[in-house]
Structure 1
Amino acid sequence: MEPASNGFPPYGISAVVKFGGSLMRNLETCRTVLAGLEHVRSAGHRILVVPGGGLPDKVIEAVDAAHPLAAFTAHHACALAQDQTGYMITDPAFSSNLAACSTLGECRLLIKEGKIPVLLPSRILFALDPVEWSWDITSDSIAAWVAWLTNTEKLAILTDVDGVYRNGRTDQPAALMSEVASDELARLGHTSIDACAAHFMAERGLSGAVLNGAFPQRLGDWLEGRKVTGTLIRNPSQREQPVQTGRGAA
């Protein structure tokens, strides 16, 4: 990433972390993931969380399947669903050091205070209108956009599977892709990360990883350059760096 210019101080974010809505299907797993994020923060990593739509988003999808919604309605409702997930995961019932915020200025202050900001994206999305009103755009794309907007070098997509699988075969461990260039990932279409996010990462030169949030130690290991089970998404200009998968990895 380019260094901050004079008069434009950096946000000081080590990594943008997309908290997948699928991680809320089991609330105990959700609590484990959030405790893991707090541990990562205590180790010195300054993370910004972008929540997925989670449970509220599933209701919107069900309504749309039965009675197709206008693009305006679906887009705005889904953005607000991300906000609702953000409010829930920052509640004391689930976490003690995560805090909801609606602006990047608030994120900056919370990071300085040693907290984990959880960005409620609707306010920024409605004000800037940066993405298409389409079901093809998910919270993965929003997280990638936030990483680019804040000049953050690392993007982690936390979901309920170990990474990106060839042909979507999540039931076959051997199909797990340990590493893929963002442009190649974009050509695969929608996987465990949405295709628009992959395209955006390729166009903006972003790199990152898709990790299973149920094993929160993997995020810390990845941030510290250790080998983990997961899928490393690299900028096509980067030299390949093997990532260990299977036995022996966390």
Structure 2
Amino acid sequence: MDWVVKVGGSLFPENSVKLAKAISESTEEKIMIICGGGSFANQIREYDDHMNFSATATHESAITCMDIVGRLLADKIPDAEAVYDLNSAKSLANKNKIPILLPSMLMRYLDPLEHSWNVTSDSISFYISQILQAKLLIATDVDGIYTRIPSAKDAKLINEISAKKLLSFGETSIDTSLSELLIEFGSNCYVVNGKYPERTLSIINACVDVDNTQYTLVRGD
């Protein structure tokens, strides 16, 4: 597997379908998609704020939301198929198809990460990319990591940043646990706006024009 592309739940449904179709039609790289839980997972978080469920119950329920979004996305992409395990994902990728991983069974079996809202689909996607020895790209609904909240007037896009420095930012478009994992494993990831599939494709196909492609590279060194 060359890439794991985490398609943020904020892109679902229209933009995630558009992005996944573009990936399936425009690259020869072996790619696996993992979906964020989107509004389904956000609803779990709201319930938790009100009822204070156990960390394990909310962690596993939020991952199940990733399954739901992934299953629905796979239904709209002719060359994609939902899978529950990595061997099936590799087999599909070798046939030039796009596996969309439904991660609940795998994560319940391996249980490698903290049960916390600090761990979201970003960290889960990174962990799985490490198993596959694949690069990670996170497609979200903003252009990357900003110096401030993206909607702020003076917010500026950061083209490249260390994960260590990013930890001092607090909440950004990726979860805090991901920065810690990037440091631990000495790995990198890209953060890009999934509303513009050409940006994702330019990174995947290694034809990035630094002056014209908006993204953030987060370094784990």
Pairwise TM-score range, normalised by the shorter structure = over 0.9
For the aligned residues, what is the CA RMSD? Answer: 1.5
| From 17, 21, 26, the counterpart of 1:31 | 17
Q: How many residues align?
A: 217
Report the TM-score when normalising by structure 2.
0.92
Larger Rg: 1
Distance in 1 separating the partners of 2:2 and 2:158? 25
Q: What residue in structure 2 maps to residue 81 of structure 1? A: 65
1:1-250 → structure 2 map (5 Å cutoff): 13-24=1-12, 27-40=13-26, 43-91=27-75, 94-152=76-134, 154-172=135-153, 175-223=156-204, 224-227=206-209, 228-236=213-221
Which residue identity lines up with residue 94 of structure 2 in the other structure? K
| Contact 1:161/1:170 (8 A) holds in 2 | no
| Contact 1:210/1:232 (8 A) holds in 2 | yes
% of aligned pairs identical?
A: 31
Distance in 2 separating the partners of 1:166 and 1:129? 33
| Contact 1:170/1:176 (8 A) holds in 2 | no
Distance in 2 separating the partners of 1:54 and 1:157? 14
Task: Report how far residue 174 of structure 1 moved.
Answer: 5.1
| Contact 2:7/2:140 (8 A) holds in 1 | yes
Which residue identity lines up with residue 10 of structure 2 in the other structure? S
Distance in 1 separating the partners of 2:178 and 2:208? 25
| Contact 2:37/2:62 (8 A) holds in 1 | yes
SS of 2:151's equivalent? coil
Distance in 1 separating the partners of 2:74 and 2:152? 32
SS of 2:53's equivalent? coil
Distance 1:107 1:39, change over 3 A: same
Report the TM-score when normalising by structure 1.
0.82
Greater relative contact order: 1 or 2 (C-alpha under 8 angstroms, separation 6 or more)? 2
